[in-house]
Amino acid sequence: MKVTLVGAGPGDPDLLTVRAARALASCDLVLYDALVDPRVLELAGTAARFYVGKRAGRPSITQEEISALMVRAARAGRRVVRLKCGDPFVFGRGGEEALALAAAGLEVEIVPGISTAIAGPGAFGIPVSHRGVASGFVVLSAEPAQSYVSVLASGPHPSLTYVFMMALGRRAEITRTALTHGFSAMLPAAIVLGAHTSRAWAWKGTLGDLPQVELPVDRRDLPGLVVLGEVVALPTQLVSADGTLVTMDDGTTSVPKEDLREYA
Ligand SMILES: C[S@@+](CC[C@H](N)C(=O)[O-])C[C@H]1O[C@@H](n2cnc3c(N)ncnc32)[C@H](O)[C@@H]1O
């Protein structure tokens, strides 16, 4: 009796692992979260689907009920996939669910996924680490309120990138806390919405401007990240999904993939 905890990645099904796609194709039941892209769910074929998502401020199934459901289904002989966006162990309560399943005597397989903490900024040419600019990165959650404060309270680390999840509605609070603890209002900052989906959107500016940024009205339903750090200001040139060399800054060239050999 086994439950497979699967990371669905940031959105685009092309970014699923092969193992995740196999688990979906061979299961009988998928329990999925609010942020799982519908295109990923399609890979579950004829398996039964059960929505167990939680969205802020709305009544939803409890964590205990989700675990109980998985235990019941697995004991009844069903091949259960628990599908979570990004990676199951990055602010996804995957650890708690794995422990609950193990405590019930079930085998648990973890299939990692690409976390939006890395792939989200990356989708807009922001590398979370970069030699000589950022020697590391921290991933923080803004839920529950103030949970990140102890990290910011140790002051700015110029060689770190700060990635905040569940933070769109807490931009003012994050900015206030950062400024209070010595971060510069000129520190490069970014907002990334719906990365790796067809509606992806990003803003780049400075920490001081972060609270005032108007999110596009037609994208306020999208999940998003806040990124702080010098890497945001890098004039990055990266290869986009369609094979062109792209740049986030105006005035630089876009080179077809075939010509990249010249740079190798
Ligand atoms: C409950 S956490 C889950 C994180 C997930 N386990 C991961 O590894 O990416 C949900 C948060 O992930 C981020 N997120 C999820 N999908 C995203 C996307 N496509 N673009 C930007 N941020 C996203 C948002 O910060 C959102 O509030």
Structure confidence by residue, pLDDT tens digits, 170-227: 999 999 999 999 999 999 999 999 999 989 999 999 999 999 999 999 999 999 999 9
Provide long-range contacts, Cβ within 8 A and 24+ apart, for 208-214. 208/175, 208/179, 210/171, 210/174, 210/175, 211/171, 211/172, 211/175, 213/171
CA dihedral 112, 116, 122, 128 (to 10 degrees): -90
Asked if 33 is an active-site residue, the reply is: yes
pLDDT of residue 237: 55
Coil, strand or helix at 261: helix
pLDDT tens-digit series, residues 115-142: 999 999 999 999 999 999 999 999 999 9
Beta strands in the chain (DSSP E): 2-7, 29-32, 48-51, 80-84, 107-111, 136-141, 160-165, 188-193, 201-206, 224-228, 237-239, 244-247, 255-256
pLDDT tens-digit series, residues 98-116: 999 999 999 999 999 999 9
pLDDT tens-digit series, residues 32-91: 999 999 999 999 999 999 999 876 556 688 989 999 999 999 999 999 999 999 999 999
Boundaries of every domain in the chain = 2-111, 116-233
Ligand 1 contact via 115 beta carbon (within 6 Å): yes
Compute, in angstroms, the gap from residue 201 CA to the centroid of ligand 1.
14
Highest CATH level, class, for 116-233: alpha beta
CA end-to-end distance (rounded Å), the chain = 49
8 Å CB contact between 174 and 164: yes
Pick the atom of ligand 1 nearest to 88's CA: 6
The topology under which CATH files domain 2-111 is: Cobalt-precorrin-4 Transmethylase; domain 1 (3.40.1010)
Burial readout 127-152 (b: 16 or more C-beta within 10 A, e: otherwise): bbebeebbeebbbbebeeeeebeeeb
Cα 151 vs. chain centroid, distance in angstroms?
A: 20
Return the best residue to mutate from 6, 17, 85 for the ligand 1 pocket (most ligand atoms within 8 A of CB). Answer: 85
Q: Return all residues near 133 (Cβ < 8 A) that are at least 6 apart.
A: 159, 230, 231, 234
Compute, in angstroms, the gap from residue 252 CA to the centroid of ligand 1.
31
pLDDT of residue 246: 55
pLDDT of residue 61: 87
Beta-ladder partners of 108: 3
Which residue is closest in CA terms to ligand 1's atom 27?
166
Does the predicted TM-score (pTM) go above 0.95?
no
pLDDT tens-digit series, residues 226-262: 999 999 998 765 555 554 545 544 433 344 444 444 3
Compute, in angstroms, the gap from residue 192 CA to the centroid of ligand 1.
10
Ligand 1 contact via 196 beta carbon (within 6 Å): yes
Asked if 54 is an active-site residue, the reply is: yes
Ligand 1 contact via 5 beta carbon (within 6 Å): no
Q: Which amino acid is at 145?
A: A
